[in-house]
């Protein structure tokens, strides 16, 4: 699948809830094929499908699919980590986010799941979750306060 890059209107749209789960297996398969070319997370809007679904493939963790996810709580502690985005090739900068998040979601079999994500997974989950609301990571770019 082709990855949409910055400037495409779909990336800034609020994605719709998944209702028809019959489209999921094929979509997820194609998204993982795309992610396998390089990357640790991919949201459906990035491949032009405006649905609330994202996948993760973090080193040391299994491949995960999050459908209709909701972040229900976040840790008070935040940390700064370098982030990149497949929709912004070549752009990396540190972003401050909560260290951990509680996320509720549906899996590929439409079963409700919940987990506490921490470390790199929490980072990717928050980045991809933002994509579902049309929020792009450049929003967090720190321009500094060097303006005189
Ligand atoms: Zn991204």
Distance 86 CA to ligand 1 centre (A): 6
Q: Cα(45)–Cα(131) distance, rounded to whole angstroms? A: 7
- Residues 6 or more apart in contact with residue 131 via CB below 8 angstroms: 11, 15, 43, 45, 46, 54
Domain boundaries, the chain: 9-140
Distance 102 CA to ligand 1 centre (A): 20
The pTM (predicted TM-score) of the whole model is 0.95
Question: The tokens of 47 are what?
Answer: 């491949």
- Residues 6 or more apart in contact with residue 134 via CB below 8 angstroms: 11, 12, 13, 14, 15, 45
Q: Cα(88)–Cα(3) distance, rounded to whole angstroms? A: 10
Ligand 1 (ion): which residues have CB within 5 A? 85
CATH for 9-140 (3.90.45.10, 3.40.50.2300, 3.40.1310.30, 3.90.226.10): 3.90.45.10
Instruction: Show the DSSP H helices in 12-118 as ranges.
Output: 24-35
In the prediction, which pLDDT does 142 show? 83
Distance 39 CA to ligand 1 centre (A): 10
**C-beta separation of 18 from 24 below 8 A:** yes
**C-beta separation of 11 from 3 below 8 A:** no
In the prediction, which pLDDT does 144 show? 76
Q: pLDDT truncated to tens, each residue of the chain (148 aa)?
A: 999 999 999 999 999 999 999 999 999 999 999 999 999 999 999 999 999 999 999 999 999 999 999 999 999 999 999 999 999 999 999 999 999 999 999 999 999 999 999 999 999 999 999 999 999 999 999 887 665 5
Distance 130 CA to ligand 1 centre (A): 8
Distance 148 CA to ligand 1 centre (A): 32
What is the set of active-site residues?
128
């Amino acid at each position: 699948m082709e990855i949409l890059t910055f400037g495409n209107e779909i990336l800034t749209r609020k994605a719709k809830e998944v209702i028809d789960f019959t489209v999921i297996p094929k979509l997820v398969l194609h998204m993982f094929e795309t992610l396998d070319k390089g990357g640790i997370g991919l949201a459906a809007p990035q491949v032009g499908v405006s649905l609330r679904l994202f996948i993760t493939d973090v080193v040391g963790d299994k491949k995960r699919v999050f459908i209709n996810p909701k972040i229900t709580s976040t840790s008070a502690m935040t940390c700064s980590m370098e982030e990149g985005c497949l929709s912004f090739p070549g752009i990396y900068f540190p972003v401050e986010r909560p260290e951990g998040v509680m996320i509720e979601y549906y899996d590929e079999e439409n079963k409700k799941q919940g987990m506490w994500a921490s470390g790199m997974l929490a980072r990717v989950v928050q980045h991809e979750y933002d994509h579902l609301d049309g929020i792009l990571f450049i929003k967090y770019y720190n321009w500094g306060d060097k303006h005189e």
